[in-house]
Amino acid sequence: MARFFPRVPRRRVTAALAASSLLLSFAAVPLASADDLRDRKDRVTGDINETLSDLDQSSAQLVAANNALMVARSRLAAAEQQLAKTRGELAAAEALDRQMQAALDKAVLRLEEARVELDEGQAQVGEQEDVLGQLAVQNYQSGDPSLLGLSMVLTSQDPAELTGQLNSVQNVLDKEAVTLDKLAAAEVLLTVKEEEFEAAKDEVAEQRAAAAENLEKKQALEAQAEDAEERVADLVEMRSTAHDLAVEAREADLDRLRGLQQERDRIAEMLRQRAEAARIRAAEAAAAAAAAEAATDPGRINSDGFLDYPVDSYITSSYGIRFHPVYHQWALHDGTDFGAACGTPIRAAAAGRVIAVYYNEGYGNRVIIDNGFHRGVGLGTAYNHLSAYSTSVGERVQRGEIIGYVGTTGYSTGCHLHFMVFENGAAVNPMHWL
């Protein structure tokens, strides 16, 4: 568990996740003991540190490639959903189009039938009008039948002959009346047929307008579906490209990781040799000298261990083996990360001699100090990802002396200090010394 400075106020983890999680924990268990609450806080802090550690161990290229891949996947899912929705709407429009076409065909058929019936009605009216016209001609030629009957009554001498003539006149009158009745009925029926014909025409017009509107909608949906299919195809290609880039970035990062391990081994061997050469010096004298320097050095940052904290800040990632979620392999996080703003002064954790000041692709700008022989081992410290140096190779630095400034150079995605401790050249957990 990360330790904080005993002589300064405890610093809060700045991540909002920690604050919100702690508040939820307090609200959920109001009667919990102080130890339980501290345990909950430590677990939340540990989760945050693991997350920050994973980010610190990922290169900007890999993070960008993975982000692009996630964006492509998200957009592809949304595009596929939109395509499915559009296809569904298009299928519904096509089904409606078929129904509307059937209704239109039926309406057209009714219109044709109404037109035939209308033509028949007009023909019947015409026939009745023709009959009436003939009767009118006959009446004109022979006179008015009613007056003709009166004339027969006045002039006829034979009753039998008069009766026959009157019957003939009545027949003509009856025929004329029947013809008029048929004409009136035919005209009424014709009016009904005309109304039915107009209604059929209106229905056909409505069906055609609705079909045209649905056709326009269907054509628009077809265009949308085509665009959506093209977008899905583009996003599939984008996802494939992002995946390939992520794989390439991951392979490049794995190469850098192997390079970091080789660099660590090289520095370890150098420090091991120096530790072997320093073994002849008395550990007690070195410890006494270090204590005297600490008592007179005003720039020192205090701690409980032999080494002082290199920066006045909080720990974001601890030393140890972990399974990296991006690399998908176990790897050693070979130091302790302190979260601090770029430009924050970095101080020597103990007195010693600067043996290396250089840039490494993985560790960025780094300073390595041989701190001498203490507690039976050759002790070394390394300060990584610096934005600038304030020391040089061969210089003797005192405990608490500023040797550089926090940065984000090398294999880093944010401002922080990656602090390492070596025992006889082997990287160990810095917290055993801080």
3-state secondary structure at position 103:
helix
> Which residue from 431, 421, 434 is spatially nearest to 305, judged by alpha carbons?
434
Clarify whether residues 225 and 291 are in a common domain: no
Cβ 45 vs Cβ 13: under 8 Å: yes
> Which residue from 425, 303, 305, 329 is spatially nearest to 370, judged by alpha carbons?
425
Q: Look at phi and psi of residue 331 and say left if phi exceeds 0, alpha if psi is from -120 to 50, else beta.
A: beta
Cβ 346 vs Cβ 386: under 8 Å: yes
Which DSSP string corresponds to 14-70?
A: --HHHHHHHHHHHHH-TT--HHHHHHHHHHHHHHHHHHHHHHHTS-HHHHHHHHHHH
Q: Which two tokens stand for residue 21?
A: 């999680």
Distance, in Å, from the CA atom of 434 to the CA atom of 430, rounded to the nearest integer, reads 6
Clarify whether residues 73 and 164 are in a common domain: yes
pLDDT in the model for residue 7: 35
Clarify whether residues 319 and 170 are in a common domain: no
**Does a structural domain hold residue 235?**
yes
Distance, in Å, from the CA atom of 398 to the CA atom of 300, rounded to the nearest integer, reads 9
pLDDT in the model for residue 154: 58
Clarify whether residues 195 and 76 are in a common domain: yes
Token pair 């045209």 is found at 212
Alpha helical stretches, state H, 279-305: 283-296
Task: Identify the CATH number of the domain in which residue 72 sits.
Answer: 1.10.287.620
Give the sign of the dihedral formed by CA 358, CA 297, CA 313, CA 351. positive
Task: Identify the CATH number of the domain in which residue 323 sits.
Answer: 2.70.70.10
Clarify whether residues 225 and 341 are in a common domain: no
Clarify whether residues 332 and 426 are in a common domain: yes
> Which residue from 220, 205, 9, 218 is spatially nearest to 96, judged by alpha carbons?
218
Token pair 């996947």 is found at 73
- Tell me which residue range forms the domain holding 336: 279-432
Clarify whether residues 128 and 216 are in a common domain: yes
- Which of the listed residues 187, 219, 244 is the one where a domain comes to its end? 244
The widest CA-to-CA distance across the chain, in whole angstroms, is 180
Clarify whether residues 73 and 199 are in a common domain: yes
The C-alpha R_g of the chain, in whole angstroms, comes to 52
**Does a structural domain hold residue 304?**
yes
Clarify whether residues 100 and 149 are in a common domain: yes
**Does a structural domain hold residue 77?**
yes
**Does a structural domain hold residue 46?**
no
Clarify whether residues 217 and 298 are in a common domain: no
Distance, in Å, from the CA atom of 374 to the CA atom of 168, rounded to the nearest integer, reads 155
* Structure confidence by residue, pLDDT tens digits, 242-298: 778 777 777 777 777 677 778 778 887 888 888 777 766 554 665 566 556 655 554
Clarify whether residues 177 and 106 are in a common domain: yes
Q: What is the dihedral of CA 136, 138, 143, 144, to 10 degrees?
A: -50
Count of domains for the chain: 2
- Which of the listed residues 225, 244, 263 is the one where a domain comes to its end? 244
pLDDT in the model for residue 134: 74
Clarify whether residues 205 and 341 are in a common domain: no
What does each of the 434 residues of the chain score in pLDDT, given as a tens digit? 333 333 333 333 333 333 344 333 434 444 445 555 556 555 554 554 454 445 455 666 667 777 887 887 888 888 888 888 888 888 888 888 888 888 888 888 888 888 888 788 778 778 877 776 776 676 656 666 655 555 655 565 566 665 765 676 666 667 667 777 777 887 787 888 788 888 888 888 888 888 888 888 888 888 888 888 887 888 788 778 877 877 777 777 777 767 777 877 888 788 888 877 776 655 466 556 655 665 555 445 555 579 999 999 999 999 988 776 556 678 788 999 999 999 999 999 999 999 999 999 889 999 999 999 998 999 999 999 999 999 999 999 999 999 999 999 998 889 999 999 999 999 999 999 99
Q: What is the dihedral of CA 248, 250, 252, 253, to 10 degrees?
A: 160
**Does a structural domain hold residue 285?**
yes
